[in-house]
Amino acid sequence: MTCEEFKRVLPELGSGHGIEQEEHLKSCCACSDLVADLNAISKEARFLQGSEDPSPWVWNSIEVALRQEGLIRQPQLHPQTPAPLLGWRLRWLVPLAATLLMVFGVLIYQRGTGQPQMSEQHSPPAGVVTANLQPADVMGGEDLQLLKTVGERTPSMRATYEADLRSVNAYIRDAEQSAHSDPNDEVAQQYLRNAYEQKAMVYEMALDRSLP
């Protein structure tokens, strides 16, 4: 085997050499040196794996994005907290509020398809979705849990959140009564939607780890 022939097959050899190539290497210093050098480069390169550290802000940036995307979520509530009302957990209230908003969105949409706005009938027309609402308590179990969480994290804000929850609950209560008394009333439905939007916002802000 000549040096030219050896170099031609060298890329295909990998870590193993055939008998012919071994014989050539035994007799040719140049090719032997070449193979040794290439192996040394390959061996040394392995030490470069994972040898650099990124700057600390890379993690900070990742963490910010994870929080914004909701991939970092609140830890489980302490097991000793009282069982929430109706088996719902605190963290479900925000999507619940959003779901209720969507329900009312459906209601409003169906109103917009030409059903009587201020009809004298009291039962909703066929095909109209009405949410089976429970009257809003002044301060339900979920609200108390939220206040407990706020009180543990930022005691100074507890009074603010309590006052705001009372205000928003009163809004929901009045809006629900208005909507119940006339399910076809678009304005009443908008009040109710707005009231739930307020409640969802209060929960969002209380549970948002970016703010105390």
Partner 1 sequence: MTDAKKRQGDGLSEADAIERAKQGDAEAFESLYNLHKRRVYSLCLRMTANTAAAEDLTQEAFLQLFRKIGTFRGESAFSTWLHRMAVNVVLMQLRKKGLPVVPLEENIETEEETPRKEPGADDPRLAGSIDRMQLQRSIASLPPGYRMIFLLHDVEGYEHNEIAEMVGCSIGNSKSQLHKARMKLREILKTSRAEKATKP
Partner 2 sequence: MQRATSYAVGLIVVFAALAAAQTTRQEMHFKVARRASVSIVNQYGAISVKPAPGKVVAINAILYSGKVEVDHSKGRRRVAVFSHLLEGADAQTGRVDYEVLVPADASVTLHSTTGPLHVEKLRGDMMVEGSTASVDVRDVSAGHIHIKTLNGPVTVTNVSDGLVEITSVGGDVALNSVNGSLVHVNTSSGKIHYDGDFGDGGDYSLTTHSGDIEAIAPAYASIEVVARSVQGTVEKDFPLQPEHTSFVPRAGSAFAGTMGEAASSVKLLSFSGKIHLKKR
CA-atom Rg of the chain in angstroms:
34
User: Using CB under 8 A, which of 50, 57, 79, 128 touches partner 2?
Assistant: 57
Site map 132..171 versus partner 2, x via CB under 8 A: ------------------------xx--xx-xx--xx-xx
List of long-range contacts for 62-69, beta carbons under 8 Å, 24+ apart: 67/209, 67/210
At its nearest, how many Å lie between partner 1 and the CB of residue 155? 23
Residue 197 binds to partner 2 (criterion: CB under 8 A): yes
Site map 102..131 versus partner 2, x via CB under 8 A: --------------xxx-------------
Give the contacts of 178 (CB within 8 A, at least 6 positions apart).
185, 188, 191, 192
Q: If contact means CB under 5 to 8 A according to the sort of partner, which of partner 2, partner 1, none does residue 26 touch?
A: none
Q: If contact means CB under 5 to 8 A according to the sort of partner, which of partner 1, partner 2, none does residue 198 touch?
A: partner 2
Phi, psi of 172 (to 5 degrees): -60, -45
Q: How far apart are CA 210 and CA 212, in angstroms?
A: 7
Q: How far apart are CA 58 and CA 55, in angstroms?
A: 6
Give the C-alpha distances (Å, rounded to integers) separating 120 from 111, 117, 124, 176, 209.
15, 9, 10, 19, 48
Interface residues with partner 2 (CB under 8 A)? 57-58, 60-64, 116-118, 156-157, 160-161, 163-164, 167-168, 170-171, 174-175, 178, 187, 190-191, 194-195, 197-198, 201-202, 205, 208, 210-212
